[in-house]
Structure 1
Amino acid sequence: MARRLVSMKKILIVNSLYYPHVTGGAERSLQLLAEGLKRAGMEPVIVSTADREQIDFVNGIKVYYLKIPNMYWMRTAKQQPAYKKPLWHLIDSYNPFAVSKLTHIINSEKPDVIHTNNLAGFSVAVWKAARKSNVPIVHTIRDHYLLCPNSTMYRNDKNCSKQCLRCRMLSSPRKRYSGLVDAVVGVSRFILEKHRKRDYFPDAKIATHIYNPSDSADTPASDRNDSNVVTFGIIGLLAPIKGTEYLIRRFASMKNNPAKLKIFGRGITEAYEKMLIERYKSDNIEFMGFKKPEGIYCEIDVAIIPSLCDDAFSRIKIEAYSHGLPVIATSMGGVPETVDNGKTGYVFDPSLEGDLESKIDKFISDPGLARALSPACREKAEIFHIDKVVGRYTDVYSQVIR
């Protein structure tokens, strides 16, 4: 059980989106943390953006859904005309309209700590509101938003080694106001150091990494059959930046390949998903559509994370480990940090021709390998246990409150 603070503390958690507006692993990780904090005796209060204002309760946790003035709500970005997007990003570099809304909530809730996360839609004006109210600020870095308006630092099919002029201009307020933050947490060492070496968070008294939590470390062994046919799975958004076609193309090109590849998730666009299905669907490549995690891991033996961009983290690893499954993971970004090569899976270099195929072949040539690695995967899952993650965060909160 997570450690309790001496007395109940109110934590105001700010994130771009919150349930039911879930677009990826960040929202799921944050919801797990908030609910874990509540079980540990604290009082989390959530503030997120939405297309209309309301106050609701999600699993007993108070949630403010705010409509922050801008050209459009961030979740509708794909449907917006191109001319609106530069204006949206310009306003989002520092959105003054967010200050008054956040200040009102801070004055009403009187939190002990403000814990900010993804800030797209709010902007770093949140930090200004917190500092005006003299409330300690903890920030968790979950992506590249503070460095890049697109949150990826990926352009023209490659990772950006440095910020372009546009990114430097739009992120200038983000860098400046990061000096208001008391403690900074990265969801990986990689993403923390990427910001620190660019002189973000210069006055943070605490700088550490805390991996995202798992909610299924006690998942029983699956009912996968004992067939010698190994089934691989790719899970999540189907997009070029995520390496979807990169993986499928290489899997399809492997000669005399008896294995199966199951693809779970939806395309970044309907057209992209349709193209993948028409081009690659076959007897051993199946497109499964969207499924909840509990319906995925019982169907596969190995999870593959083929991302081509520098992802800060990947929830797929911890979900796979929790189900006793090994992974084949990209060497990009923070993804490989928690892969023990040869014990919980294998890391491949996307820039090295044939490296992915060689890792896939390890499991094909030894159908019992996935099961042999399963105990180490379950053991690894323990470091992501929600109670341990909550304990790490409560330690950080305690230090900034002093």
Structure 2
Amino acid sequence: MSPDQGTSQDHHDGYEIRRIPLVNIYPLQDMGRATTLQRVRWHIKDHWNSAMQIAFTFELKKIQPDVVLLHNITGFSISIYESLADASVPFFQVLHDHYFICLYSTMYRRKKICDGQCLRCSLLRRRHLKTTQFATGVIGVSNFILNRIKSMGYFSGVPSNVIHNLSDKPPKINLTEDISGVAPKLGCTLGYLGILTESKGILDLLRAFKISAGPSDRLILAGHLDNRLSHLQTAFNTDSRIEYLGVVERDFFFSSIDCLVIPSKVPEAFGLVAQEALFRGIPVLVSNQGGLPEVVAASPSAHVYNARDPDGLTVALQTLLSDHDQWQRSQVISDIYYSALQQDWEKSYEGFLKMYA
């Protein structure tokens, strides 16, 4: 989708990039400012957006691809499946969230996890049940997200595979220089990276930190602050142990913390930031929601707590902060190991596409 609602074409690193405008009530980037009524109208149109189907079909005829790999189709809508099927082009859907079963793609509403589809989501996703069967194949970035969506009848009979996400290789750093002078000698510097919103557990993290942390511990927060939580600026300013950086460069953020905390209440499809931290040798503490436990399962420096337990995060932080060894950095992932992961990732995609395309 075009960020400025225009049509453009350019090249980057040998790839041709084509952008087209979204035909809907408002652009995607305005979703956070939309009224409730506007959002309802937007989602009704996104249920089957014929205008975007026409625009997509026009691009499809110009590009004439041999195979199509779909990731986030929000805005394009499920209508593009029909275009691909009519053109007899094999296409594969990669599942990154709950878009196919939830209007908001999160399965989280009114401060509660949705264990099933509500009536509204069921009605506006009814056509998806049949249309997803047009897909040549479906790939989940975790076992959790693939099983969750297929268990509800979507992509029924469609060949499927799980291919975990793979973050970029972290930069080379000197472990001693990276740690020296960053964290207080007697305390741990916890970090949070992402959107600061209620559904991501930021309020739970602040509450648990104030209960569990000592005078030498610190909490660094980075990312966009949800407009509905602007009052948190007061909490940032009144507690010297808490620092809100806003949007910062990722490597700077990771070099400033001892342990990453992901207190998400949303059932995450994967959790790439957890992998980014582990690749840098940074211990992580994650909630047990969605695919997060899957991401950290093989790491001895990862800790998982029960997000449905009101005291789960507090107890986990108390345990972590009381043991210096639990938040000590290890070495950055080796070039050899990362190359092996990258080769496996590429072979998984290539093998699955070649098998069915």
Alignment TM-score, normalising by the size of structure 2: 0.91
Which deviates further from its counterpart, 149-158 or 385-394? 385-394
- Matched position secondary structure for 2:62: helix
- Matched position secondary structure for 2:147: helix
- Matched position secondary structure for 2:89: coil
Q: Which runs of 5+ in 2 are unaligned?
A: none
1:161-191 per-residue CA deviation (whole Å, 9 max, x = no partner) reads 1111110111112222100011101111111
Over the aligned positions, Cα root-mean-square deviation in angstroms equals: 2.4
Whether 2:131 is the aligned partner of 1:177: answer yes
Distance between the aligned counterparts of 2:298 and 2:286, measured in 1? 10
- Matched position secondary structure for 1:356: helix
Distance between the aligned counterparts of 1:120 and 1:353, measured in 2? 33
Deviation at 1:198?
0.7
The answer to whether the Cα contact below 8 Å between 1:218 and 1:322 also exists between their aligned partners in 2 is no
Distance 1:70 1:221, change over 3 A: same
Deviation at 1:324?
0.8
Distance between the aligned counterparts of 1:62 and 1:347, measured in 2? 41
Percent identity, please.
25
Q: Map 1:168-317 to 2 at 5 A.
A: 168-205=122-159, 207-217=160-170, 219-222=172-175, 223-225=178-180, 227-254=185-212, 256-269=214-227, 272=229, 274-281=230-237, 282-317=239-274
1:35 corresponding residue in structure 2: none
Distance 1:195 1:384, change over 3 A: farther
Within the candidate set 48, 54, 59, 2:13 is matched to 59
- Matched position secondary structure for 2:254: coil
Deviation at 1:385?
4.3
Deviation at 1:355?
2.6
Distance 1:381 1:199, change over 3 A: farther
1:79 corresponding residue in structure 2: 33
Deviation at 1:386?
4.0
1:123 corresponding residue in structure 2: 77
2:349 corresponding residue in structure 1: 393
Greater RCO, 1 or 2 (C-alpha within 8 Å, sep 6+): 1
Distance between the aligned counterparts of 1:182 and 1:354, measured in 2? 45
Distance between the aligned counterparts of 1:263 and 1:164, measured in 2? 33
2:110 corresponding residue in structure 1: 156
Distance 1:310 1:377, change over 3 A: farther
Deviation at 1:390?
2.5
Amino acid at match of 1:216: K
Which deviates further from its counterpart, 80-89 or 245-254? 80-89
Distance between the aligned counterparts of 2:31 and 2:337, measured in 1? 35
The answer to whether the Cα contact below 8 Å between 1:318 and 1:381 also exists between their aligned partners in 2 is no
Distance 1:346 1:377, change over 3 A: farther
